[in-house]
Structure 1
Amino acid sequence: MNRLKCCFIAGSVIGAVACALGIILIPVGDYVIGSTVKKEAVLEEGTTAYGNWISAGAPVYRQFWLFNVQNPDEVLNNGSIPQLLQKGPYTYRTRFIPKENVTFFPNHTVSFLLPSGAIFEPSMSVGAEEDMVTSLNIAVAGVYSLVNHKVANMMIQLSGSSLFQTRTVKELLWGYRDPMLKGQLGVFYPYNGTYDGPYSVFTGKDDISKVSTIDSWNHMQSMSYWNNTYCDMINGTDGSSFSPFLEKKTPLYFFSSDICRSVSAVFEESLDLKGITVYRYMLPSNTFASPAENPDNQCYCISNETTRNCTVAGVLDVSTCKGTPVLISLPHFLHGSKEMLDLVHGLNPNPEEHSTYLDVEPITGFTLRFAKRLQVNMMYGPSKDIKILNKVKQTTIFPILWLNETAALDDETAAMFKAELFSRMDTLELVQIVLIAAGAVMLVLSLIGVCVVKRRSHLSYVA
């Protein structure tokens, strides 16, 4: 009887120790995982973050939808509202060239240039680059906004230009020789062979909370385009990654050189991406709102004509940054003022198709899927001095095209990601559960055994 009692006591001790060890492993395991994640998130050679950062791990595509004008003659001759039909997608692979001039500095920053390149992907497109599209003549829209209208009329008439032109998709995107300006023009001309940057970002070596945060862009720690300290700030990362251990309530900030400003994204929902839990962050609907709705946007309102004295929502004038009279919006004027939709027909804003989002893995801070969606617009309106605009009735913000820059985690990278990070976490969690559960069961059963033996011993003694 005493021997059995000793066995039960030993079992209870072993169970208690196992249970305690499992409990102790929780903070220890969290520490080990945290240390591993922080180490691998640093931007330095040999880390997981560096390998994905130096060159995009998944293919990045830019899809373009161009707005084809159905009634150009009616617009010019009768002042009719333009009828638009989007044509696309025309898809190009981009961001396939690794970062260049990568240089590390003692203050834990790294600088680099981001090369630009585009390769047409016929299998992901609705047609060929040679497809014809009737669109706004960007040269005419440019002189309308920038040049004295009497001079502009002379330039337009001498070159035989009109408000609309028909060109190939390739020409409209990447460039053609314009007969009026006698030079190359295109919505994205020049692109191939050019660079964005230089950028300087923090490596996170001394402070992981700063990893990938932009220190400077184009040698500027703040911009000078908006003439305002707040709007000229360069906040956050470039959107490809963020600091580890995200919290849902904390917005993510990132800078986009395409729109010459920083924006925030807020948590929307948790999703499953190839077996990995990601947090979806989306641009708030008031990102391009009028100052009346979002006072923080007051300093982005630089043109009273474009925004009707800062009352029109949905467009951002980037002319001071880009050097051309370009207006940026969300596709189909999503979240924009109704009057913009009333002045062109054929747009159908849809949050599911036209919103920008980031799917970020919350432990590492890596962006595993994203869709950056923007629309390029220009403006024209009535003019008594420009003959081809004599019949135009309303100042119109005209959509030329919208784009979706997108990338998503592939199966191979997902498997690697799960094997290197989550398999370790799952194994550690399993060990913790087994130790706690087995230890607790052994402890309870052993204590019950001790009580039973003690009771029997007592009954034997009484008898």
Structure 2
Amino acid sequence: MGCCNARCGLITGAVFGAVLAILGGVLIPLGNLVIEGTVKKEAVIENGTTFWFLTVNNPQAVIKDGATPVVIERGPFTYKTRFLPKHNITFNPNHTASFLLPTIATFEPNMSVGTEDEEVVVLNLAVAGAYSLVPKALHILLEGMIKSSNSSLFQKRSVKELLWGYTDPLLKDTLSLFENGTYDGPYNVFTGKDDIAKVATIESYKGERELPYWNDTFCNMINGTDASSFAPFVDKKKPLYFFSSDICRSVSASYMRSYPLKGITVYRYSLLHSTLASPVDNPENHCYCRDREVTKNCTLAGVLDISTCQMGKPIYISLPHFLFASPLLREQVQGLSPNEEHHETFLDVEPTTGFTLNFAKRIQINMMYGPSKVITVLKKVKNYTIFPIVWMNETASLDDATADMLKEELVSRIQLLATVQQALLGAGVAIFIVCLISYCCVRRNTNQGKQA
């Protein structure tokens, strides 16, 4: 009778352990549902974008004597950018959601060194653009247009004009470096309802599943998210992939370190040197090399020719001050001093939720010009030059109120859920195994006693 009671008790214990283990397993999809709901809310934080112009100190010496240009950094000129995280949100039957990303920039004089009306001397956007677009056989016509419009290789403009628009006398059109009050997208992303690992991953951009810019399947791939969030439970051993419409391509960032941000542990991810490396050092970048003459037979590192996604405008993207770029780029323009701390791009990601809680996207806008035997302002130019105009630092950081909300309503709950889940699984499996082994031992002893 005692053995029978013991066996029954052990069986009951094993069943209880199995139930605990199953309950722990049930919490896995439950946790995913909690994450899915909170991911839709997003960590809305206020952005700011700061611009530094690289004003030319010796424009006449460059034109008349062929001197090396000397630039001086002017800034910051700061704009508050309120990103409304999603606009025109539409949930689709295939577990995706579509939305636009609007941007509105408002000048912040108290965070700037001067007003928007402050003038800087920069490369003439129209002259540089026309030089690249007009065939050399027609440079005589371009020379006439430049002279009749009193244009030159460099121009003096206000910060506001350069950033948001001015009427150019050469092209008789409005030119600007950026656009205000516009929308990026539409983006179509996975909601994670059927697979939490795919949450926020871009399914299509502007209705297409690949880019039309690079004439190569690999380079045209749209990988990862828009960098505002990633799939939950981030594995720091794996890179994070994201698509940036600013540079017309997908990139990856790798884990660098962990640190506490307002009491929340985050993972710091940074772009690797190989992101803008030459195809010689990173063969995957071969399809981003567009002009072999300008890029020294594709050996030039640190710049990305995005003219194909800028309607032919000769725009080159780099990190500020040509960080991680070929020394030649800094030799052609004096006054640059790249600094990894101030000029790198990084993301700080909360690993449990996958939210980006702090970031700095730093990009430099450059244009190209070169020698000409016909165009007067270019006769003294010896080589093709990728010339820096402005660099921007788009940042967003978690404020105290949002940090407290995340710690109280999101991170702590998910971490508690994960702890309970692990405890139930562990305890359940342990009880089940112990009871099962004990039951087998009792049953064996009972059988041996009967045989004796």
**Shorter-chain-normalised TM-score: which range?**
0.7 to 0.9
Residue number among 51, 66, 83 corresponding to 1:79 in the alignment? 66
Residue number among 356, 369, 373 corresponding to 2:345 in the alignment? 356
Residue number among 403, 406, 411 corresponding to 2:395 in the alignment? 406
Instruction: Give 3-state SS (helix, strand or coil) of 2:265's partner.
Output: strand
- 1:248 has 2:228 as partner: no
> Which residue does the alignment assign to 1:40?
34
For residues 419-439 of structure 1, give each alpha carbon's deviation from its aligned partner in whole angstroms, at most 9, with x where no partner exists: 123444676769999xx9xxx
Q: How does 1:162-201 map to 2 (within 5 A)?
A: 162-188=152-178, 191-201=179-189
1:26–1:90 Cα change, 3 Å: farther
> Which residue does the alignment assign to 1:228?
216
The 1-side partners of 2:413 and 2:77 are apart by 42
User: Which shows bigger deviation, 202-211 or 389-398?
Assistant: 389-398
> Which residue does the alignment assign to 2:10?
none
User: Which shows bigger deviation, 357-366 or 193-202?
Assistant: 193-202
> Which residue does the alignment assign to 1:390?
379
> Which residue does the alignment assign to 1:127?
114
Instruction: Give 3-state SS (helix, strand or coil) of 2:94's partner.
Output: coil
For residues 43-77 of structure 1, give each alpha carbon's deviation from its aligned partner in whole angstroms, at most 9, with x where no partner exists: xxxx322222xxx6111111111001111111111
* Preserved CA contact (<8 Å) 1:315 1:328: yes
The 2-side partners of 1:360 and 1:113 are apart by 23
Amino acid in structure 2 at the alignment position of 1:369? N
For residues 327-359 of structure 1, give each alpha carbon's deviation from its aligned partner in whole angstroms, at most 9, with x where no partner exists: 001111011000000000011111111111110
Specify every segment of 5 or more residues in structure 1 that has no aligned partner in the other structure, as ranges: 1-16, 437-463
Per-residue deviation, 1:271: 1.0
The 1-side partners of 2:304 and 2:421 are apart by 54
* Preserved CA contact (<8 Å) 1:66 1:402: yes
Instruction: Give 3-state SS (helix, strand or coil) of 1:177's partner.
Output: strand
The 1-side partners of 2:322 and 2:26 are apart by 47
The 2-side partners of 1:422 and 1:208 are apart by 17
* Preserved CA contact (<8 Å) 1:228 1:299: yes
How many corresponding residue pairs? 406
Per-residue deviation, 1:114: 1.5
User: Which shows bigger deviation, 132-141 or 92-101?
Assistant: 92-101
1:329–1:27 Cα change, 3 Å: farther
Amino acid in structure 2 at the alignment position of 1:267? Y
For residues 253-309 of structure 1, give each alpha carbon's deviation from its aligned partner in whole angstroms, at most 9, with x where no partner exists: 000001110000011001110011101111111100000000000010011122111
The 2-side partners of 1:258 and 1:373 are apart by 11
Per-residue deviation, 1:193: 3.0
Per-residue deviation, 1:234: 0.4
The 2-side partners of 1:431 and 1:225 are apart by 46
Amino acid in structure 2 at the alignment position of 1:57? V
For residues 73-105 of structure 1, give each alpha carbon's deviation from its aligned partner in whole angstroms, at most 9, with x where no partner exists: 111111111110111111112243352221111
- 1:152 has 2:146 as partner: no
Amino acid in structure 2 at the alignment position of 1:326? I
The 2-side partners of 1:314 and 1:172 are apart by 24
The 1-side partners of 2:261 and 2:25 are apart by 23
For residues 135-179 of structure 1, give each alpha carbon's deviation from its aligned partner in whole angstroms, at most 9, with x where no partner exists: 110000001111132222121111110001111100011110101
The 1-side partners of 2:205 and 2:421 are apart by 47
Q: How does 1:312-461 map to 2 (within 5 A)?
A: 312-323=300-311, 324-424=313-413
> Which residue does the alignment assign to 1:136?
123
User: Which shows bigger deviation, 389-398 or 266-275?
Assistant: 389-398
> Which residue does the alignment assign to 2:96?
109
- 1:262 has 2:256 as partner: no
1:247–1:74 Cα change, 3 Å: same
Residue number among 69, 80, 89 corresponding to 2:56 in the alignment? 69
> Which residue does the alignment assign to 1:51?
41
Instruction: Give 3-state SS (helix, strand or coil) of 1:306's partner.
Output: coil
Instruction: Give 3-state SS (helix, strand or coil) of 2:371's partner.
Output: coil
* Preserved CA contact (<8 Å) 2:83 2:101: no
Instruction: Give 3-state SS (helix, strand or coil) of 1:212's partner.
Output: coil
The 1-side partners of 2:35 and 2:420 are apart by 25
Instruction: Give 3-state SS (helix, strand or coil) of 1:379's partner.
Output: strand
Amino acid in structure 1 at the alignment position of 2:321? H
Q: Calculate the TM-score normalised by the size of structure 1.
A: 0.83
Amino acid in structure 2 at the alignment position of 1:161? S
1:425–1:384 Cα change, 3 Å: closer
Residue number among 208, 226, 238 corresponding to 1:238 in the alignment? 226
The 1-side partners of 2:301 and 2:154 are apart by 26
> Which residue does the alignment assign to 1:311?
299
* Preserved CA contact (<8 Å) 2:352 2:411: no
Q: How does 1:92-103 map to 2 (within 5 A)?
A: 92-103=79-90
1:30–1:411 Cα change, 3 Å: farther
